[in-house]
Structure 1
Amino acid sequence: MPLSRPVAIPASRIFPCIFFAGIASAVTCPPAHAEGWLKEGSQELILSGGKGIGSALIQQDSTAGADLVGANWSYLFYDYPSQHHFQWWAQVSYSYMWRDYRGRDQKQHIWELKPVLRWYPRREARGLFGEVGVGAAYLDERSFGAVELSTNLNFSLHFAAGYTLQSGNTLSLRYSHFSNGYTNTPNPGFDFASLNWHTRF
């Protein structure tokens, strides 16, 4: 019987597939707190401060020189302590960026909605962790610095590393990327890095 040949998946379909897989996983996982929604300690308020970054990573053009502040609300949807501790968070975010570019004041408002997977290498949800989130974002300005977006609605992707204290408060460093996932052209991307303080309540 002949072996089947591997099927190549176009790059334009990979990012949307990751996005919908993350949404499906977060929706189908049982809640972290079966006895009641919004239990104490199941939410985080995250305050962010950061900068735009150059074109060394995913994006094609630079947002270096831009400043950022932001606020995020996260809900702990699923908590699974095993040999390694996994958590699913649902996160809503708002970020505000500004910069002076060629003598013009530019502003950018960013709204995000995404599921976030957090992984601790130990059984307890404390100490060092890694995090990834994939979702949707709306950027109100297509032109910002050297970046010219082709769509206002984009996919959002972030990678983070952080440390959770015994109190439950957390400090993290995050890299965020926005693009249309090759669903439209051009696809220059839009990146920033942020330092974040998480407060549990």
Structure 2
Amino acid sequence: MPAHAAPADTKGSEKTGQAIARRVMSCANPNAAFQALDPAEKEAYGEASKIVSTETKVSAPRNTATGAPGDTTMAKALNNAGVGSTVPQWYSGCWAMQNSAAGKSIVGITLVKYGQTTSVCVGSGRVTSVSVYNVWHEIIAPGWDLANGFPTKNTFNAGREGRGRAQWKFQLNVAGYPLQNPSPCLQLRLNANGYNYKSSTSCNLS
């Protein structure tokens, strides 16, 4: 009877890759440690260095008008007036928020970080302008890079709120071919009332 190859020890390979990834990232110079790996170790490292989860954070808003967004005095005044999404005519100004994210591996290693700031200006209870700025990224783990032409940024003025989005395209390449090509987005929707907002990872501005 013909001999059959033994089944690959997938779980063993995964554990080996995870151990290699931990070892590389614990070094003072992870890039040098990665370059010192042999081809098989690099491949195992790559499989253990894919983004499997994302952690997001959002900052406190900032404002150029009297009564900064997030300020309890303004929030209480609006809530006590029962305005909800209706904006009082006296409110005007500009405010901004920032959200950021970290892509993490199966063992919780942070691989990449990225973020953006969206600001809106408001007049007579309507958003008059929206802008996205301070778009940034940080490559932490060896093998990861940012694709050409990225990040991109877009805005949408819905009147009652301003929407800002930034999108990145990261690439994981450790063995001469791409292992992963995630294209994450970060979006902020800032209300014309000066303090309501929504942070998300949606790429859809509509």
Choose between structure 1 and 2: higher strand proportion: 1
Choose between structure 1 and 2: higher helix proportion: 2
Same-fold status (TM-score > 0.5): no
Length-normalised TM-score, structure 1: 0.31
- Between structure 1 and structure 2, the one with the greater Rg is 2
